[in-house]
Amino acid sequence: MKRWAKCQEAYADEMLEAMRNLKALSQAAESLREAGPLRPACAECGLWGGCQSPGMLPFVPKGYTGQLLVVGEAPGKDEDARNRPFVGAAGQLLRGWLRDSEVPDEGVAFVNTVRCRPPKNVTPTMKQIRCCRPFLLAVIDKLAPRAILGMGGSALRAFTNDGGQSNVTRARGRLIPVSRLSVVGAASCGPGDSRTPCSGLSGGDSPVSGRITYHPAAVLYPGGTHLSVYVKEDIRRVTNEVAPGGYGGGPPPSSLITIDTEGASILALDVEWAPDKTLLTVGVADGQHAEAVEAN
């Protein structure tokens, strides 16, 4: 018991020190171009200097209309070589799906959860994700997209700031709040990471939400081709939310279905669309109650 008490005391001291560091660094407001060995979070992450294009910036097309932001995992071999996200085989596949859903090139921007390529394209650790989160949040704040689509488990963990969130199948089909609540301390850095607290986390709450789907790279793996159906469905769902009926036009949801809220204030609205752009369900919530109605 005495040993356990000492461990708790040491952990509490570590948490307090981490909070002091976060307050002193205030890295949530740092420049999008400010990255490198002198930045504490980059030094802790360990990826800087081990790739061709460290600190990769988001790709924002000329004349960006702010309709969609796609959040990937980390640069791959092709992205690292060209210093641009989503230009490899998976990226080309995704861009084709976006065009098939009538998303104009100027309507979508791309950014990675982790800005430096991990060695051998291994999945980023939660510590690396947290060290890069201030950049991702700053990109979201600056671009203010009407919709956000995360690709894969790393994007899901970045959205939630929770290393235990990695089940894309379970997360699909619902809005995921992009949390800004800091999680500091050694235990938050994930399995296999050092005891050094992750710095560069942001604080406060955010009303921003995004959706999660499978990473297009998963479709390229043996046994993953069937996932393309779900990714395309999620793209259509997001595009219909940005522009009801898709970018090609169509009737708005209000002309298809009506829900009597009995005077309650709607705090959340969620819709589900079929691949043929037919409205399936509409859900509303007022903070205390939720209701979903089928359209047919």
Under the banding of pLDDT at 50, 70 and 90, the label for residue 248 is very low
When the pLDDT of each residue in the chain is averaged and rounded to a whole number, the result is 75
Per-residue pLDDT at 241: 82
Percent of the residues in the chain that have a pLDDT greater than 90, as a whole number? 47
Under the banding of pLDDT at 50, 70 and 90, the label for residue 204 is very low
Reported as half-sphere exposure (CB side, CA atoms, 13 A), residue 280 has a value of: 13
pTM (two decimals): 0.68
Choose the weakest-confidence range: 124-128, 165-169, 277-281.
277-281
Confidence check: pLDDT of 234 > 70: yes
Q: Which fold has domain 19-242?
A: Uracil-DNA Glycosylase, subunit E (3.40.470)
User: Tell me: the pLDDT tens digits for 134-155?
Assistant: 999 989 999 999 999 999 999 9
Which residues touch 290 (CB under 8 Å, ≥6 apart)?
268, 283, 284
User: Tell me: the pLDDT tens digits for 74-108?
Assistant: 999 999 999 999 999 999 999 999 999 999 999 99
Per-residue pLDDT at 32: 63
State the sign of the Cα–Cα–Cα–Cα dihedral 33, 239, 211, 122. Answer: negative
User: Tell me: the pLDDT tens digits for 31-72?
Assistant: 566 788 888 888 889 999 899 999 999 999 999 999 999 999
* Arithmetic mean of pLDDT, 247-257: 38
Q: Which residue has the higher pLDDT, 85 or 258?
A: 85
Confidence check: pLDDT of 265 > 50: yes
Residue 121 DSSP symbol: G
User: Tell me: the pLDDT tens digits for 161-190?
Assistant: 999 988 999 999 889 998 764 433 222 333
Per-residue pLDDT at 43: 87
* Arithmetic mean of pLDDT, 239-253: 54
User: Tell me: the pLDDT tens digits for 280-289?
Assistant: 566 666 555 5
Quote the CA–CA distance of 202 and 197 in Å, as a whole number: 14
List the Cα angle 220/61/65 in 5-degree steps.
110
DSSP string, 241-283: HHSTT-TT----GGGT-----TTPPP-EEEEEE-TTS-EEEEE
Choose the weakest-confidence range: 7-16, 116-125, 177-186.
7-16
Question: Of all helices (H) and strands (E), which one includes residue 109?
Answer: strand 108-112
Listed residue (60, 58, 62, 97) closest to 75, CA to CA? 58
Give 87-93's long-range contacts (Cβ < 8 A, gap of 24+).
89/217, 89/220, 90/215, 90/216, 90/217, 90/219, 90/220, 91/216, 93/216, 93/219, 93/220, 93/228
Percent of the residues in the chain that have a pLDDT greater than 70, as a whole number? 61
Top mean-pLDDT range of 103-107, 220-224, 249-253: 103-107
Which residues touch 148 (CB under 8 Å, ≥6 apart)?
68, 69, 71, 140, 178, 208, 209, 210, 211
Choose the weakest-confidence range: 19-23, 231-235, 290-294.
19-23
Listed residue (40, 33, 105, 32) closest to 67, CA to CA? 105
- Residue ranges covered by each domain of the chain: 19-242, 253-294
